[in-house]
Amino acid sequence: MTTHQRIVLAEPRGFCAGVRRAIGIVERALDLHGAPVYVRKEIVHNHHIVGELEKRGAVFVDSEDEVPEGAVCVFSAHGVSPAVRAGAAGRRLEVIDATCPLVAKVHQEAVRFARDGRTVLLVGHEHHEEVEGVRGEAPEQTIVVETQEDVERLDLPDDTPVAYLTQTTLSFDETARVVDALHRRFSDIVGPHGDDICYASQNRQNAVKSLARDNDLVLVVGSRNSSNSIRMVEVAREHGCAAHLVPDASHLDERWLESVSSIGISSGASAPEVLVRGLVERITSLGHTEVHVDTGATEDVVFAMPARLADPVTGRVPRTPLADEAR
């Protein structure tokens, strides 16, 4: 193994506004209601965050049917279908919705396009929770496509009135290619007002491109079920750099560092900074002595918390420690 020289940290990295809001909602719900607070699916796709919230009394379930009648239930940042909302209402659950506002925008667009009589072509991964929720807004009018080949295989006349939407955590470049294929295929096509891919996913992918240009290896901190983290690894590889997903420092394979003098590190939008710090500490113990920051876009987006979680005396929603960790 060679003597390592430097680590380059991407900026921005880690928590986005939607993730910070969702985690804060669970923390605040626990403060107000006490344990247990039930959360449908993982609040965000990160094993560390889920584990920390479980320690405080959050109970994660796969379905609203598993929540005791009348209990507090938080919907995850990835959003849910109308059928899930109806199921929760039928069980008289006290629902607190942590859906990311950018995901909620895609839901609203799906409803609008379906109401206009268009076939909705949803670019995304078939079984991702976000896609399942959006498709549920108009299941009989929605078709999920993932690749340019999927577009060519669609059993629809070329003059079918269609609309396209995209999952918020996709690769910006790959999605653009799929959208271009849709425009080539269909003569009557409309899309969303502005990109559906969230600002944080775009910023982190752009930062990874910069890391890939200037380093021998890129490591992305994020859980294996985190779509935006996986896309970041793919982006680095597409730009000619070796890259790996690292859920935490214990998953670092030291063989990756052989003959590597410069390592770029970033983290997905649901990965807490404590995991990045742990990885940096492990790598510095192996020989990297210089740590630099590669600064890209500045992020100042903040999403408001639900008013129902405000302090009854002050009317303000207090900041919460886990959500605010990376500030």
Active site residues: 130
Pair of tokens at residue 200 = 């944080």
Burial of 112 (0-12, 13-18, 19+ CB in 10 A): middle
| Location of structure tokens 């069980």 | 91
| Location of structure tokens 């597409």 | 238
End-to-end CA distance of the chain: 36
CA separation, residue 198 to residues 87, 102, 214, 229 (Å): 29, 7, 25, 13
Spatial separation of the C-alpha atoms in residues 166 and 184, rounded to whole Å: 17
Element (H, E) at 151: helix 148-153
CB atoms within 10 A of CB 174: 17
Spatial separation of the C-alpha atoms in residues 263 and 9, rounded to whole Å: 9
